[in-house]
Amino acid sequence: MSQQMGKLYVVATPIGNLEDISPRARDILSQVAWIAAEDTRHSQVLLQHLGISTALVSYHDFNESKRASTLIDKLSQGQSGALISDAGTPLISDPGYTLVGAAHDAGIKVVPIPGPCSLISALSVAGLPTDKFLFEGFLPAKPQARYKRLQELAQFAHTMIFFEAPHRLEALLRDCENIFSPHRQATLAREITKKFESIQRNDLQGLLQGIQTKEVIVKGECILLVSGHKENSAQINSAQTQKMLQVLLAEMPLSTAVKVAVSLTGLPKNALYEMATALQNVLKQQDCL
């Protein structure tokens, strides 16, 4: 008779407040043969709080491929195990994809144990549209790559969610202000479910100014949510907007004129830039006649 395979449980754990653990998650973590954890020292604190003595196995970015193979062997031999991350739902900007994929390939049942998830928690209190959204996770750390990716998202019509390290948050907000519009609505969610939890909703310009004046504290885990692009063809193509740009272009360089126009109108920078470029080309042609 063949050995019955174990199950792999993907278990969400608290993102801050340890009381957010579900009874089902507690039961599973106490019943499985082992728990694969991103940082065993961090996870041990949770298990001690819950009174659970299940063995911990390290599973992180640097040993994922090798450790996944070992864990699949254990599951195939009939042991059931759990996968957790340092906080929240595994695989959401955390390791686990390799193990879960390998488990499916091996015919092992993968069972979700739902619970806390920081991006969903932030979205639920952001005061921004939730019908459709994009979870971008961490943008590239290098400024040029980050700026390029944000430019690609300039016309995205739905709420965008970004994870960011505190020391790069100001630079991210500055790029968002330049590319999207200073008046684009946004929410900064910080330290969700923890002692110093903070949810601040403003436009991008207001959030950036708050950081620069120290009114907005930038510490801990930060999630930035930005509302999507809302096209307003009537405003963008209005004669009044074109006249304003024409006056500005006569007095200053194109990039400066667009920046001033964005500040005055709150219209998308990309659309105003396209209009300003077209107007500048027309003015040059007129000068050549």
Amino acid at 71: L
- Name the nearest CA neighbour of 153 among 180, 126, 122, 171: 180
pLDDT tens for 44-64 read 999 999 999 999 999 998 998
Does residue 275 register a pLDDT over 60? yes
Please, what sign has the CA dihedral across residues 99, 101, 102, 107? positive
- 141 vs 100: CA distance, rounded Å: 27
Give the residue extent of every domain in the chain: 7-116, 119-226, 233-288
- In CATH, what number does 7-116 get? 3.40.1010.10
Q: Confidence class of residue 216 from pLDDT cuts 50, 70 and 90?
A: confident
pLDDT tens for 229-271 read 886 544 555 778 888 898 999 999 998 998 898 888 877 777 7
Q: How far lies 107's CA from each of 54, 65, 67, 72, in Å?
A: 25, 18, 18, 10
Average pLDDT of the residues of the chain = 91
Res 279: pLDDT: 81
- pTM, entire model: 0.79
CATH topology of domain 119-226: 3.30.950
